[in-house]
A = this chain, B = another copy of it.
């Protein structure tokens, strides 16, 4: 077991990383919950796979009430949020009640926003089941639903009371989803930790085989880096932007291709390569950074070749980004592996 603290003053919380061990989670819940029940929000598939496991692990600690939401980003809407809230109120949930988000990013994002807004805020916990959620979305308190006009447009910065990460849940994760999580893991190396980047190079085989020890190491190190950044800038007013390395072009690529051609992690992989290209163009790093990144992405079965995309569409998609301020886009550029810099670039300049 590894324990990492996300340090946010009175909103601080622990990340607990285990392998096939839900006992630490049960203990924390038993200690913290204000009532002896817990509402688990998950999707039908995960409920089917793990209901028995969780019931068994939590027996004697807390009673579980299961509420399911359909799987997939298209259900990350206000309509789903309303249905969940109505279900909670019918089940008598009150300000003493707490939620557990058990699933990937969609379940985590919507459950977090539900917890932030139900009766103006109740406690919630994260138990992420995908690698992407374990190293990224479950940590940091960003919660949201999508609008017809854009992703994550309604939400809240709202921190969980604890995050329970068990690498065992990754066993049933499709290979492509695992690769997507690795894109974010590689990102942490790129933005903050050259040694970690090299570790990922050396241990590609064990990580692919999902050796529990290797998984624990890369998840813990990823969470440490994210926790450190979030601790310094909870509400994304400055430094936190570096977590968006590869995401500016990545989001735009997802949007222009209708959110069905590339998975999020694949788009981020391509976005990181593009960010490094711009960095080279601006003399911030060398061609070697690009080839090293490309080699590592390839080792983890992530795409490295940009498709043919209309540049104008891509630029106008970027201009709509939440982080876009006035006429500049705040780009996260690479100054070599392990180091990034926030550079405002005018939309005009990008067009060249």
Query: Using a CB–CB distance below 8 Å, which chain A residues touch chain B?
Result: 78-79, 81-82, 85-86, 89-90, 94-96, 113, 116-121, 142-144, 147-150, 152-157, 235-236, 322-326
Contact = CB atoms under 8 A, between A and B. Distances in A.
A69 to B, nearest CB: 16
Given A78-B78, A78-B82, A149-B86, A155 B117 contact: yes
A236 to B, nearest CB: 8
A156 B82 contact: no
7 contacts: A85-B147, A85-B153, A89-B147, A90-B149, A94-B322, A117-B117, A120-B155
A116 to B, nearest CB: 7
A120 B153 CA distance: 7
Nearest to A96: B325
A91 to B, nearest CB: 10
- Ranked nearest first, the 6 interchain pairs of A and B with the lowest CB-CB distance are A89-B149, A117-B154, A120-B155, A78-B82, A78-B78, A119-B322
A122 to B, nearest CB: 10
How many copies the complex holds: the figure is 2
A111 to B, nearest CB: 14
A117 B156 contact: yes
Given A82-B154, A95-B323, 6 more contacts: A94-B322, A96-B325, A117-B154, A119-B322, A120-B143, A120-B152
A222 to B, nearest CB: 22
B153 A156 contact: no
Interface centre among A82, A94, A96, A113 (most CB of B within 10 A): A82
A95 B156 contact: no
Contacts of A79: 78
Contacts of A155: 117, 119-120
B86 A119 contact: no
A142 to B, nearest CB: 7
Contacts of A78: 78-79, 81-82
A182 to B, nearest CB: 27
B81 A153 contact: no
A245 to B, nearest CB: 19
Contacts of A81: 78, 154
Contacts of A323: 95
Contacts of A150: 89
A79 B152 CA distance: 17
